[in-house]
């Protein structure tokens, strides 16, 4: 792999940019790998990358049914934050956020991490108490957040209307080092780094069966032939249920469509991310100038990748009250992704009843922010069988009643 | 957009008129059941990609609960039927078989 640098750009400028090579190879699958990861989204690629980087396991294949990063990695609103309530969540999300800070250097790929700050508006007395509690919890967890006044909110976001008649802004939970990153670049950067370590990123390779022998995983059946492996990682978000079926166990997960939309591009007007959980909407401005708006999740199971129309309407209506200047903007695009919701709104990073088979799922509406941390922890789990970042997020926590309840801390789809 | 017909009052409306109530035909387990049964009942959802049976309530209408047979991929509704039953009626099952040959859902097929 040729490194990207200012020097490389200058060199290529002198030869009509003919020297750039493909960012990652597209190899044919081999017969056998040490580890196979199903799903080449952010989480799957990050897992493979840290398996190689931290544990020296590079005989790895990452199988992808569609194209690289074409699932939820390419469909989210790119927000990165770690202001969660429970200790295990704060640990993995803060690890993730801190890895994002240096990800561009680590991968030699510009993921455009922008620590512009994320604020979650408190618009009811209940929310004030909730966020003050989160701010205290974050202080103990070593996550830098603070509860700020409405005046400070107005200072940071001049376009906001803090005197809304129904839901005035009463304060906000502010995380200054949270922000956004370029979602596709995260997947591409990891894929390039994996490919450079000799791993096989295999696209258009759909897993149709999981083979086991004596309670131990043997390999997978795909539309491109049989592939053997010692260890298998299932990292497929909304379609985890189908893969778990193939492996012979069931998951406490329901899949629903979550949608987002962007406006037409306008001049820079808001340089932070604002989330308004009571009125159910959140917004940031992309580098292109589009207002990126996150909508609600459907209330019923579905795999449609578009989402219900009335959710978009509700979100936009709420945001027009909160940000009056956007009410004449046109919508440019709308899309949906299939998110895997657990009962306690926390992920599952766990061994499974099938030996050698591991599952990473249940990130629900907020998986993008967790990509590096999830990969870091899940790689450790796959390599060593245990990981301090993952050990609280086991599959059997539901049976044992050890919920990691984030449905309050993250009451909105995020 | 999902369009349902309430079998109780006969009104056809789009999804904002109804409230989803989750998986249908659950067999409830409580005190005296095994851990596995209780865990299965509480947490192990079917989450199918395709034919699904759900409980719905005509929340902004007659207020009654009913069942719906639906495809989670296309949002096609195969039919709605009374909540006073432990399994889908034969005519709904036949209709699904005509459109999705070989379907199965939990113990039903």
Close Cβ partners of B101 (under 8 Å, ≥ 6 residues apart): none
| Phi and psi based region of residue A353 (left: phi greater than 0; alpha: psi -120 to 50; beta: remaining) | alpha
Which chain A residues touch B26 with a CB distance below 8 Å? none
Contact B72 A242 (CB under 8 A): no
CB A176 within 8 A of CB A117: yes
- pLDDT tens-digit series, residues A372-395: 999 999 999 999 999 999 999 999
Domains and CATH numbers, chain A: 31-105+182-252+345-400 (3.50.50.60), 118-179+255-342 (3.30.9.10)
pLDDT category, A242, cuts 50, 70, 90?
very high
Interface-testing mutation among B15, B22, B47, with chain A (most A C-beta atoms within 10 A): B47
Which residue in A203, A229, A226, A204 sits closest to A216, CA to CA? Answer: A229
- Beta strand spans in A235-370 (E): 253-263, 273-276, 281-285, 291-297, 331-342, 348-351, 357-361
Question: In terms of CA atoms, which chain A residue is nearest residue B47?
Answer: A254
Residues of chain A found within 8 Å of residue B47, distances taken between Cβ atoms: 241, 251, 253-255, 301
Contact B45, A252 (CB under 8 A): yes
Q: Are B5 and B11 in contact (CB under 8 A)?
A: yes
Q: What are the DSSP E strand ranges found in chain B?
A: 3-5, 12-14, 19-23, 51-57, 65-71, 77-82
A342 to chain B: closest CA residue: B43
Q: Do B75 and A302 touch (CB under 8 A)?
A: yes
pLDDT of residue A88: 96
pLDDT of residue A414: 45
- The whole-number average pLDDT for the span A19-47 is 96
How far apart are alpha carbons A366 and A79 in whole angstroms? 8
Report the distance separating Cα A239 and Cα A225, nearest Å.
21
pLDDT at A161 over 60: yes
**pLDDT, tens only, B14-29:** 999 999 999 999 999 9
| Contact between chains at A254 and B45 (C-beta distance less than 8 A) | yes
The distance of B45 to chain A (nearest Cα, Å) reads 6
Low pLDDT (below 70) residues in chain B: none
Q: What pLDDT, in 10s, does the model give residues A107-117?
A: 999 999 999 99
Predicted confidence at residue A411, as pLDDT, reads: 47
Q: Averaged over A59-76, what is the pLDDT?
A: 94
- Chain A residue at shortest CA distance from B54: A300
The answer to whether residue A2 scores a pLDDT higher than 60 is: yes
What mean pLDDT is predicted for residues A262-283?
93
Cβ-count burial of A261 within 10 angstroms (0-12 exposed, 13-18 middle, 19+ buried)? buried
Average pLDDT over residues A207-231: 96
What are the residue ranges spanned by the domains of chain B?
1-25+48-109
Q: What is the DSSP string of A36-79?
A: EEE--SHHHHHHHHHHHHHH----EEEE-SSSTT-SGGGTS--E
For tokens 């959710």, what's the residue? A311
Distance CA B19, CA A274 (A): 29
Please tell me the distance from the alpha carbon of residue A45 to that of residue A52, in angstroms, as a whole number: 11
pLDDT of residue A147: 97
Strand pairing of A200-202 and A60-63?
parallel
Which residue from B59, B80, B83, B62 is spatially nearest to B70, judged by alpha carbons?
Answer: B80
Asked if the Cβ–Cβ distance from B15 to A255 is below 8 Å, we say no
- Answer whether A301 sits within 8 Å of B75, measured CB to CB: no
Confidence of residue A132 (pLDDT cuts 50, 70, 90): very high
Which residues from A are below 8 Å from B when comparing CB atoms? Answer: 239, 241-242, 250-255, 299-304, 308-310, 343, 398-399
Q: Does B26 touch chain A (CB under 8 A)?
A: no
Q: Which residues of A touch B2 (CB under 8 A)?
A: 300, 308
Number of H helices, E strands in chain B: 2, 6
Instruction: List all residues 6 or more positions away from A310 whose beta carbon is below 8 Å from its beta carbon.
Output: B15, B16
pLDDT of residue A408: 57
Is residue A367 within 8 A of residue A42, CB to CB? The reply is yes
Fold of B1-25+48-109: Folate-binding fold (3.30.2270)
Average pLDDT over residues A235-251: 93
Which residue shows structure tokens 């012979």?
Answer: A248
pLDDT over 70, % of chain A: 98
A191 and A61 Cβ atoms separated by less than 8 Å: no
Q: Tell whether B75 is within 8 A of chain A (Cβ).
A: yes
pTM of the model: 0.94
Burial class (CB in 10 A: 0-12, 13-18, 19+), A184: middle
- Average pLDDT score, chain A: 94
Tell me: pLDDT of A410 over 70.
no
Question: CA torsion sign, B100 to B102 to B105 to B109?
Answer: positive
Distance from CA of A403 to the nearest CA of B (A): 12
Measured CA to CA, the distance from residue A315 to residue A215 in angstroms comes to 47
Helix (H) or strand (E) holding A231: strand A225-234
Task: Give the pLDDT confidence score for residue A141 in this predicted structure.
Answer: 96
CB contact under 8 A, A310 and B2: no
Nearest CA distance, B21 vs chain A (angstrom):
8
Return the residue of B nearest to A304 by Cα: B73
């Amino acid at each position: 792999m040729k490194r990207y640098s200012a020097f490389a750009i200058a060199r290529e400028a002198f030869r009509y940019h003919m020297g750039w090579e493909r960012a990652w190879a597209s190899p044919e699958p081999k017969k056998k790998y040490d580890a196979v990861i199903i799903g080449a989204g952010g989480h799957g690629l990050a897992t493979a990358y840290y398996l190689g980087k931290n544990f020296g396991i590079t005989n790895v294949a990452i199988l992808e049914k569609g194209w690289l990063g074409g699932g939820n990695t390419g469909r989210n609103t790119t927000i990165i934050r770690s202001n969660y309530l429970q200790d295990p969540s704060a640990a993995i999300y803060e690890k993730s956020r801190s890895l994002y800070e240096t990800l561009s250097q680590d991968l030699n790929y510009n993921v455009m991490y922008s620590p512009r700050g994320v604020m979650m508006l408190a618009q009811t007395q209940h929310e004030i108490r909730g966020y003050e509690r989160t701010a205290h919890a974050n202080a103990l967890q070593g996550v830098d957040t603070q509860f700020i006044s409405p005046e400070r909110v107005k200072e940071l976001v001049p376009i906001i209307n803090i005197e809304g008649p129904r839901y005035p802004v009463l304060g906000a939970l502010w995380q200054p080092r949270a922000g956004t990153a370029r979602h596709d670049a995260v997947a591409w950067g990891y894929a390039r780094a994996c490919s450079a370590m000799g791993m096989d990123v295999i696209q258009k390779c759909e897993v149709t069966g999981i083979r086991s022998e004596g309670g131990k995983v043997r390999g997978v059946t795909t539309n491109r032939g049989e592939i053997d492996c010692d260890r298998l990682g299932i990292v497929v978000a909304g379609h985890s249920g189908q893969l778990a079926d193939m492996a012979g166990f069931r998951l406490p997960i329901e899949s629903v469509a979550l949608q987002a939309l962007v406006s037409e591009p306008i001049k820079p007007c808001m340089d932070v991310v604002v989330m308004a959980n009571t009125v159910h909407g959140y917004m940031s401005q992309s580098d292109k100038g589009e207002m990126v708006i996150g909508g609600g999740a459907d209330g019923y199971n579905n795999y449609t990748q578009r989402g219900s129309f009335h959710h978009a309407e509700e979100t936009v209506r709420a945001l027009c009250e909160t940000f009056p200047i956007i009410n004449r903007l046109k919508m440019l695009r709308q899309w949906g992704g299939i998110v895997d919701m657990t009962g306690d709104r926390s992920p599952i990073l766990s061994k499974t009843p099938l030996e050698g088979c591991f599952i990473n799922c249940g990130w629900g509406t907020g998986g993008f922010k967790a990509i590096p941390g999830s990969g870091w922890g899940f790689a450790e789990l796959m390599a060593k069988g245990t990981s301090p970042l993952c050990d609280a997020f086991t599959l059997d926590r539901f049976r044992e009643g050890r919920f990691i309840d984030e449905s309050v801390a993250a009451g909105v789809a995020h | 957009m999902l369009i349902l017909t309430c079998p109780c009052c006969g009104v056809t409306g789009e999804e904002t008129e109804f409230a989803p109530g989750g998986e249908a035909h659950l067999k409830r387990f409580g005190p005296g059941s095994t851990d596995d049964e209780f865990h299965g009942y509480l947490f192990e959802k079917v989450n199918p990609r395709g034919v699904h049976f759900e409980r719905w309530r005509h929340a902004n209408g007659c207020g009654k609960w009913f069942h719906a047979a639906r495809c989670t991929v296309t949002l096609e509704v195969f039919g709605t039927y009374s909540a006073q039953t432990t399994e889908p009626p034969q005519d709904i099952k036949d209709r699904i078989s005509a459109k999705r040959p070989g379907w199965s859902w939990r113990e039903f097929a």
